[in-house]
Amino acid sequence: MKIFVLMLFSFLSAFAFDVGNGKSLIIPLDSPQGTLQLFDRNITVLPHPVYPNEGFAMIPIDYYKQPQRIDAQWLKDNEHKSIEINVISSSYPTEVLSVDSSKVCPPPEALQRIADEKAEAEAIYNHITPDRYWNKPFIRPMNSITTSEYGSARTYNGVLKSYHGGVDFRAKTPLPILATNDGVVVLVKDRYYAGGTIIIDHGEGVYSCYFHMSQFDVKVGDPVIQG
């Protein structure tokens, strides 16, 4: 009987979730406290935006992560619960594009700029602002059709070069682009690959990025509201 009870308790304290590679998994939890340990990282449990006695954790899964089972641990006070994450293969479209050759094989003089911009973006994304600036669902940045989906395998000038890390919308110039939610502007810059770029920090590790813009109407440090 003791063995049966222990096995039952172990079963009840475990969670299991499926998530595709390149996706983000939101795990609901019955407390806003503690941390989630996985991938040699500690992910902070965040308070639920509507139910203050509940929490959630946001788990980004790398695009290149192979199908596998990942065992995570939710540590809270002096107890822990096991969370099983099953990474599965997602299906993404393919695209064939023709672009300027300098975007496929950058000239030597552009390599340092590219490296600096990559490091700058990673420093932003690795910073987690403890405050939450938003309190409502996110919106689309414009009312338009999607011309390129997230995750598309992109062949540039006959070379498989990258996988699309964003979503493209059909738009004319000029056309206002809307902030998807409340936040603070943390980057305003013309970049080698992304062109005119704005990044908004929404707090708690959530960012939205706006690329290929023709002009800027904000500066770093500006607070913005949704829409």
**pLDDT of 4-17, one tens digit each?**
333 333 333 457 89
175-188 pLDDT tens trace:
899 999 999 999 99
Residue type, 53: N
* Lowest mean per-residue pLDDT among 32-36, 71-75, 100-104: 100-104
Alpha-carbon gap, residue 9 to 13, rounded angstroms: 6
Per-residue pLDDT band at 60 (split at 50, 70, 90): confident
Among 23, 31, 11, which Cα is nearest to 151's?
A: 23
| E-strand stretches of the chain | 14-20, 24-29, 35-38, 41-44, 46-47, 55-60, 68-76, 79-88, 94-97, 146-148, 153-156, 159-163, 168-169, 183-191, 195-203, 206-213, 223-224
109-133 pLDDT tens trace:
999 999 999 999 999 999 999 899 9
20-56 pLDDT tens trace:
988 889 999 999 999 999 877 888 899 988 888 999 9
Averaged over 180-203, what is the pLDDT? 97
CATH architecture observed for domain 2-88: Sandwich (2.60)
Q: How far is CA 131 from CA 183, 184, 205, in A?
A: 10, 11, 9
The set of residues, in sequence order, having a beta carbon less than 8 Å from that of 40 and lying 6+ positions away, is none
List alpha helices for the chain, DSSP H. 2-12, 101-104, 108-125
pTM of the model: 0.80
User: 57 exposed, middle or buried (CB, 10 Å; 0-12, 13-18, 19+)?
Assistant: buried
Where along the chain do the CATH 2.60.40.10 domains lie?
2-88
Edge-to-edge strand list for the sheet holding 183-191 = 206-213, 195-203, 183-191, 223-224
User: Residue 161 has what pLDDT?
Assistant: 64
Alpha-carbon gap, residue 45 to 36, rounded angstroms: 7
Where along the chain do the CATH 2.70.70.10 domains lie?
94-224
Residue type, 93: P
Q: In this structure, what are the phi and psi dihedrals at residue 125, rounded to the nearest 5 degrees?
A: -70, -25
Quick one: fold of 94-224? Answer: Glucose Permease (Domain IIA) (2.70.70)
User: Residue 8 has what pLDDT?
Assistant: 36
